[in-house]
Amino acid sequence: MTGMRKRVTIAFMSIVCLLFISGMLSFVELNRLSRGAGDVLSASRRHVELAKEMLDAAHEQNVALIHLTVLGEKEYEKDCRRAMKRLEFALLTAQEEALDRSFLDSLSFATIEMKVLVDRYLANAAEAEIASVEIDTLAVQELPIDSLLRDTVLLQAAIAKAELPEVSDSERWYTEEYEAVYLRLTAAVKAYMTSTQSSLAPHAEKLKRNAYRAVTPVLISLLVMIAVLLMFYYFMTIYCVNPIVNMNRSLGDYLAFRVPFSVKSDCKDELLELKNKIDSLILQLRQNSK
């Protein structure tokens, strides 16, 4: 391939191929970076959603227990159980989706502690209510029961009532037992939220490295392209521009001052053919002039 057109075409096609390859590499790395950033953001958003769900469930149960223990509104017992199930489901979801479950140990312990405490309170409340209803039924109907059976029933009712605190005892139970467990649970949820965010730091550092990796092919291709363009400029000057300039100057000197046409050229392409044709033309002119 000694033609000028082929050389110029090869030079420009090399630059195009270099730019295409570097662009494709950058595109692949940017896609990987985009997927990684999306995964990190999705994980962060999911952790925040689960933590919010746990805090909402704990708050709902706290409000229900205030109505149940302090205000004595028994209809909030269902809300209390529903909030507990909601909290357990959110914790189970977090355990299934977590890559490192060590952050959930304290939260799991606090949730189990609250569940045991609340279930025991609700169970004692239900037993005391059943015993109270039985005593009231016997008293209203005035059933003829012997003294031993009556004493047994009264004793069971007294025990059940003793296990169920009165209103003042319920308030004391809430402030002394439940409130401390509730605070530990909310603190564990907040710790889970912060720990999961800190666990995403390695992924963010990896994204940083991927960003540099995505930019590196572009920088390398830019430097190589600059070097190729400088080389292309050099070779175009040596093998194309300078011969044309020299032939033009030498031909002008011949026409103006009859200076012999003499051009040194290292080319083996159309420029050499052009030089040879000019030499032949000048030679024919000299022969005709004689």
For residue range 69-110, list pLDDT tens digits in order.
877 788 888 888 898 899 899 888 888 877 667 767 888 888
Tokens 């977090």: give the residue.
94
pTM: 0.55
How far is 11 from 110, CA to CA, in rounded Å? Answer: 71
Q: What is the pLDDT of residue 100?
A: 67
At 202, the amino acid letter reads: P
Task: Reply yes or no on whether the pLDDT at 143 is more than 60.
Answer: no
- Average pLDDT taken over every residue of the chain: 76
> For residues 160 and 134, is the Cβ–Cβ distance under 8 A?
no
Q: Which tokens is 123 given?
A: 């169970």
**Helix axes of 4-65 and 201-236: crossing angle, nearest 10 degrees:** 170
How far is 154 from 131, CA to CA, in rounded Å? Answer: 9
Tell me the Cα Rg of the chain.
46
> Where would I find the H helices in the chain?
4-65, 77-97, 105-141, 147-163, 167-173, 179-199, 201-236, 242-257, 270-289
For residue range 222-258, list pLDDT tens digits in order.
787 788 888 888 888 887 888 888 888 888 888 888 8
At 243, the amino acid letter reads: P
Task: Reply yes or no on whether the pLDDT at 12 is more than 70.
Answer: yes
Q: Residues 28-41: what's their mean pLDDT?
A: 74
